[in-house]
Amino acid sequence: MTSPRCSGLRDWALVARRRSSADPSRYRATARDRLASAIPTSWRGILGEAVADPSFSTLAGFLEGERARVTVYPASELVFNAFVLTPPDSIRAVVLGQDPYHQPGQAQGLAFSVPNGVVAPPSLRNILRELPVTPIGHSLEPWARRGVLLLNAVLTVEQGRAGSHRRKGWEPFTDAVIQAVAASPRPIVFLLWGRDARAKRHLIEGGRHIVIEAGHPSPFSYSRYFRGHAGFVAANDDLVSQGQPPIDWSL
């Protein structure tokens, strides 16, 4: 015999499904609120318009549906990790990536980075080769804590499917992030590695910023377009020439 409590739960769930089907915007607004609540308070003021954009609501609904269906990286609590570790007023540089690594244990919400103890993917290994000082670890979290915003253009991905969350709503949001950072009166270093990253240059206004372009650090372009051009030393030279302290790129 079915208890009244179980019956009531089923009735409530049925009503909720009917409401979400009849009024998708209500479901998306709720999903949007949940996704937006994960953005650190320090960022909310400058990203208010991006969160209010309809594309963010569409993105939020898509993500909730995907997480109910497949494995999505990074974990929900790490999606905005770059923003947690690098508040707006601490930013000295931006490294722009594409989307998160898509294998278990890799994605930690920081472009190009994996946790120490996880095998470094080829692109990360090539980045480490270009550092002026041999690194002790390969997680890029120390950079994030020193003001290097490790920003992917797309902040989530389905397990095993690189690029699967492109054009789902992240790009308008991260474009707004780039524009907000570029509005800083202080000189900011922008490291644009690869064609996709270089295509974002138009979002960086003002001659005060230091924009360094190079090929992507993947094995396909490392030898020809990235090796010797990553920009770590050049960025610091430009910062010092503008009276700014150099960035500590050590790991």
For 178, 182, 184, 199, the CA distances from 202, given in Å and listed in that order, are: 10, 11, 16, 7
Partners of residue 211 on adjacent β-strands: 190
User: Over the Cα atoms of the chain, what is R_g?
Assistant: 20
**Alpha-carbon distance 225 to 147, whole Å?**
26
Alpha carbons 47 and 241: distance in angstroms, whole number: 31
Rounded Cα gap, residues 232 and 224, in angstroms: 17
**Strands 157-158 vs 72-73: parallel, antiparallel or unpaired:** antiparallel
Q: Rounded to whole angstroms, how far apart are CA atoms 147 and 140?
A: 11
**Under 8 Å between Cβ of 187 and 209:** yes
- Of 235, 196, 188, 191, residue with least CA distance to 214: 191
Confirm whether 99 is a catalytic residue.
yes
What distance in Å separates the CA atoms of residue 144 and residue 201, rounded to the nearest whole number? Answer: 21
Contact 217, 123 (CB under 8 A): yes
Catalytic residue among 23, 53, 99, 237: 99
Strands 157-158 and 148-152: unpaired
**Residue 91, number of CB atoms within 10 A of its CB:** 18
Query: Which residues are known catalytic residues?
Result: 99
